[in-house]
Amino acid sequence: ETVMTQSPLSSPVTLGQPASISCRSDRTLVDTDGNTFLSWFHQRPGQPPRLLLYKVSQLFSGVPDRFSGTGAGTEFTLKINKVEPEDVGIFYCMQATHFPFTFGQGTKLELK
Amino acid sequence: EVLIVESGGGVVQPGTSLRLSCVASGFDFSSYAMTWVREIRGKGLEWVAGLNNNGLSINYGESVKGRFAISRDNSKNTVFLHMTSLRADDTGIYYCARNGSAGIFDSWGQGARVDVSS
């Protein structure tokens, strides 16, 4: 299976400051049609995950534009340009190019 | 409004079976793939299984292959996850989600808790 590795695993941040999370795969996530199925999810304690971005950089409906995604091939990044209190929680990347789909370990975002 | 509700969770002994159900409403269920994802305490999220809109294309995560079976009944807007040979490391919260396309898990239920313990 495709192994997804996130870093850091924990990120203390200051409100209003930017944050960045890296996600790497052990093989390319580009499929034979040239699509890259890399999604980002956010999960608050006691809540189901929520989709933030899909296909690397596509912002899901209703997600604030302070979130952005970049990357290609095997290296991807989620950026938050100004952290808000509601961003506290765990962020996961997930690849859906190869079966079985696989998640990264998660990055816990907490306030300093 | 899209609504997804899981049921069937509980406390079971190792080696036994359990069937989870996921009832969806608020969208054309037969047009969407569906998926199960579980949250294991201390380990994060793990993709369990998924099937396409007509249930003919099915895939499983490595750790459940051969033990779990996913199916759907489009006449009842329901997806099932039949879990057999349950182990302690299957303990967690099982979420059902709509799969808009590969990796677009855009709507989730609140989850069903499964506790495998003796």
pLDDT digits (tens, 9 = 90+) for B30-48: 999 999 999 999 899 999 9
Give the pLDDT score at B101.
81
Chain A residues touching residue B94 (CB < 8 angstroms): none
Percent of chain A with pLDDT over 70: 100
Confidence of residue B102 (pLDDT cuts 50, 70, 90): confident
Helix, coil or strand: residue B24: strand
Q: Does position A88 have pLDDT exceeding 90, yes or no? A: yes
Task: Enumerate residues 53 to 112 of chain B having a beta carbon within 8 A of any beta carbon in chain A.
Answer: 59-62, 95, 97, 101-106, 108-111
Q: What is the pLDDT of residue A29?
A: 98
For residues B13 and B88, give the distance between their C-alpha atoms in angstroms, rounded to a whole number.
Answer: 8
Residues of B with CB below 8 A from A100's CB?
A: 47, 59-62
The residue in chain B having the minimum alpha-carbon distance to the alpha carbon of residue A61 is B106
* pLDDT at residue B103 in the model: 80
Q: How far is CA A31 from CA A48, A95, B36, in A?
A: 28, 11, 23
Query: How many Å lie between the alpha carbon of B15 and the closest alpha carbon of chain A?
Result: 24
**CA of A101 to nearest chain B CA: how many angstroms apart?**
6
B12 near B86, Cβ under 8 Å? yes
pLDDT in tens, A44-62: 999 999 999 999 999 999 9
Specify the pLDDT at position B23: 98
pLDDT higher than threshold 80 for residue B86: yes
Instruction: List helix spans (H) across A1-112.
Output: none
Judge: B95–A92 Cβ closer than 8 Å, yes or no.
no
Q: A90 CB near a chain B CB, below 8 Å?
A: yes
Burial A95-106 (b: 16+ CB within 10 A, else e): bbbebbbbbbbb
Q: Do B45 and A49 touch (CB under 8 A)?
A: yes
**For residue B13, what pLDDT is reported?**
98
Distance CA A40, CA A93 (A): 4
- pLDDT bracket for residue A74 (50, 70, 90): very high
**Local structure of B45: helix, strand or coil:** strand
Cβ–Cβ of B95/A49 closer than 8 Å?
A: yes
Contact predicate B2/A61, CB 8 Å: no
Sign of CA dihedral B59, B62, B64, B66: positive
**Chain A (92-111) residues lying within 8 Å, Cβ to Cβ, of chain B:** 92, 94-97, 99-106
Paired with B33 in beta bridges are: B99
Q: Is the pLDDT of residue B108 over 90?
A: yes
Our CA angle for A62, A43, A112, nearest 5°, is 105
The mean predicted confidence, pLDDT, of chain B is 97
CA-CA-CA-CA dihedral for B28, B32, B38, B39, to nearest 10: -70
Under 8 Å CB-to-CB from A33, ≥6 apart: which residues?
none
How large a percentage of chain B has pLDDT more than 70?
Answer: 100
Q: Is the dihedral of CA B13, B19, B23, B27 positive or negative?
A: positive
